[in-house]
Chain A
Amino acid sequence: MKSPLSLRGLTKSYGGQRVVDGFDLELEPGRCHGLLGPNGAGKTTTLRLALGLIEADAGTVELLGHVLPAEAKQARRRVGVVPQVDSLDPDFTVAENLQTYGRYFGLSGKTIAERIPALLDFAGLAGKADAPILTLSGGMKRRLTLARALVNDPDLIILDEPTTGLDPQARHLIWQGLRRLISQGKTLLLTTHFMDEAERLCDIISVLDHGRSIARGSPRELIAGHIEPHVVEVFGEGLDEWKACVSGLCRRCEQAGETLFCYTDNPDKVVAELEAAPGLRYLHRPANLEDVFLKITGRDLRD
């Protein structure tokens, strides 16, 4: 089966700065793909290129069998988009938002009306059809935006930071929805800077920094390939003295503020040392995607 979206050598500059820099991506049908990167890495710009909203300086985009930007309009018929910034129509009710949006795809009022109950059900908004947008919580708005992206029954769904700014309950509801879409065989491409989100949802992850792909693979592959399997986080009184004598036990140690991150294949010895050090506290856990991410993109703040 053909790739729903293929980006080759994509490059885009703003003011002399390469925001997307020779980026390649090949989506696999029916899988969930993550675009992971710090703020300003070029995630949103990549999605805008992929949708044919802006033109690349170099490289090619093929979206659902259409070459962009020439055939962008046809290609977008089969795509659903959840934008980073909410853009629901505040003057309309929940159902009117779906009705209006469906018309942009050339769907008839009848077709949309038939789809609305299932969409509201999917979004956990059953019974809210006539609610004004102003009465919805942030999580409800985000779920409605997701439902809106499904009104044309898309093959590919593109989501730009779908859960940023939501509380944990709301995030879990969105995740449930996305899992259902994945199980229905939809292809997903989502950006996020939440590692746990990417780890939970994505089959394949591209880590993006300064517009370049710096790592790619499944969450497991990325963790196994880039980082030691165990992490011991150490903090408390006497960290500096302890740090000097422990370095032989860990493959890699990194200090961030008051916390020392010890990456190791053999955590037992480190933990034994720590048990003997009063005043120090620690947390032993398996390495996760966040550790990979911090290792390859660095710990500097990006805002």
Chain B
Amino acid sequence: MISFAWFPVWRRNFLVWRKLAGPSLLGNLADPMLYMLGLGYGLGALLPDVDGVPYLNFLAAGTLAYSVMNSASFETLYSAFSRMHVQKTWDAILNTPLDLRDVLLGELFWATSKSLLSGIAILLVIWVLGLYEHFALTLVLLPVAVLTGFCFAGLGLSINAVSPNYDFFLYYFTLAITPMVLLGGVFYPTTAFPAWLAAIAAWLPLTHAIELARPLILGQWPQGMLLHAAALLAYGMAGFAAALGLTRKRLLR
């Protein structure tokens, strides 16, 4: 039976977010938009067309994936950690009929929701600036954002589970997120990578997200669409399973 026991946890985070939605939205979205517009127009002026489109159009897909990834990661690392470790919100919830799976599912779906919101905001810019070929195809970016957010929310929760403090997250960003941004094709095509580097890049979750997002903006259906979607789903589910086991060890032993 499908259980919605996690919903009050999602709702709790939503209500807190709603109180601070203005500044939080601004903080989440100003950064990727400025990147996209600054690099897109500034660097774009120096570049010939990339993959047959202006650089700004090329960058849009990378920015969307990047922004969705960041949003899910920050939520499941810094914000979830403060709820778990500092405010003891999870401990309070565990004294009620909810269990750890409900708490973590609530966090997972909440982080996914927030990253979808980031994706929508970038998509609005894409629409307003007309950075797409076929409008209908850009709508498929919404489920792509959900999958990408789900993937990085699951991964983030597993890192959160083993983190002794906030500083620990820096390792994750330095050793996982940043390499993904550089190898996953956010800022440039990876077609010129040597074979060994391309092979590594092909495994990265962010690569799968960009392989889905970029063609949709450039007006084509992605190649190997199901494979990329399944990879994102698998990474997210594996992350969540690890998070559940590790957090149980941490809080409930």
B-binding residues in A (CB < 8 A): 51, 53-54, 72-74, 76-77, 79, 81, 83, 85-92, 96, 100-101, 103-106, 152
Task: Tell me, rounded to whole Å, the shortest Cβ–Cβ distance linking A95 to chain B.
Answer: 12
Asked if B134 is an interface residue, CB under 8 A from chain A, the answer is no
Q: Does B252 contact A (CB under 8 A)?
A: yes
Contact (Cβ within 8 A) A74 B97: yes
Q: Does B174 contact A (CB under 8 A)?
A: no
Q: How far is the CA of A145 from the CA of B93 in the complex (A)?
A: 13
Which residue of chain B has the shortest Cβ distance to A82 in the bound complex?
Answer: B95
A91 touches B19 (CB 8 A): yes
A residues less than 8 Å from B12 (CB atoms)? 89, 100, 103
The reply to whether the CB of B91 lies closer than 8 angstroms to some CB of chain A is yes
Residue pair A89, B98 in contact (C-beta under 8 Å): no
A interface, over-half SS: loop
- Among B61-97, those with CB < 8 Å from A are 87-89, 91-97
Q: Which residues of the partner chain A approach B8 to less than 8 Å between Cβ atoms?
A: 100, 103-104, 106
B residues in contact with A54, CB < 8 Å = 252-253
- For A151, the closest partner residue in chain B by CB is B96
A96 cross-chain contacts in B, Cβ below 8 A:
15
CA distance A282 to B54 in the complex (A): 93
Shortest CB–CB separation between residue A17 and chain B, in angstroms? 14
Flag whether B99 is at the interface (Cβ < 8 A).
yes
CA distance A105 to B11 in the complex (A): 13
What is the distance, in angstroms, from B91's C-beta to the closest C-beta of chain A? 5
Q: Jot down 18 A-B pairs with beta carbons below 8 A, ordered by A.
A: A51-B95, A53-B94, A54-B253, A83-B92, A85-B91, A86-B88, A87-B92, A89-B16, A92-B16, A100-B15, A101-B92, A101-B96, A103-B11, A103-B12, A104-B9, A104-B96, A106-B97, A152-B96
- Give the residues in chain B near A81, CB-CB below 8 Å: 95
What would 5 more interface pairs be, CB under 8 Å, given A51-B95, A54-B252, A100-B8?
A: A85-B88, A89-B87, A91-B16, A91-B19, A92-B15
State whether B16 touches A104 (Cβ < 8 A).
no
Chain B nearest CB, measured from A56 CB (Å): 12
Cβ-closest chain A residue relative to B20: A91
Task: Give Cα distance in the complex from A89 to B89, angstroms.
Answer: 7
- Are B91 and A83 within 8 A (Cβ)? yes
Contact residue among B9, B11, B95, B99 (Cβ-Cβ distance under 8 Å from A83): B95
- B252 neighbours in A (Cβ, 8 Å): 53-54
Residues of A close to B98: CB separation below 8 A: 73, 104
Choose among B19, B87, B97 the residue that contacts A104 (Cβ–Cβ < 8 A).
B97
Chain B residues positioned under 8 Å from A83 (CB to CB): 88, 91-92, 95
Residue of B nearest to A52 (CB): B99
User: Which chain B residues lie closer than 8 Å to A100 at the CB level?
Assistant: 8, 11-12, 15
Nearest 7 A/B pairs, CB to CB: A104-B96, A87-B88, A87-B92, A81-B95, A103-B8, A91-B16, A73-B97
Query: Residue of B at shortest CB range from A149?
Result: B95
> CA separation between A85 and B91, bound complex, in Å?
9
Please indicate the chain B residues that have their CB under 8 angstroms from the CB of A74 in the complex. 97
Residues of chain A with a CB closer than 8 A to B9's CB: 104
Q: How far is the CA of A91 from the CA of B21 in the complex (A)?
A: 13
**Bound Cα distance from A101 to B89, whole angstroms:** 10
Partner of B99, one of A73, A79, A85, A86: A73
Q: Report Cα–Cα, A88/B86, bound state, in Å.
A: 11
Within 8 Å by CB of A87, from B11, B15, B91, B97, lies: B91
For residue A92, which residues in chain B have a CB less than 8 angstroms away from its CB? 15-16
A79 to B98, CA, bound (A): 12
CB-CB contacts of B14-39 with A at 8 A, as 1s and 0s? 01100110000000000000000000
Q: Is the CB of A77 within 8 A of B97?
A: yes
Contacts of A106 in B (CB 8 A): 8, 97
Residues on the A chain within 8 Å of B20, using CB: 91
Q: Which residues of B contact A101 (CB under 8 A)?
A: 92, 96
B101 CB, min distance to chain A CBs, angstroms:
10
CA–CA, A103 and B8, complex, Å: 6
- Bound together, the chains give a CA A103 to CA B92 distance in angstroms of 13
Report the bound CA distance from A77 to B98 in whole Å: 9
Is A76's CB under 8 angstroms from B97's CB?
A: yes
Complex alpha-carbon distance, A280 and B94, angstroms: 55
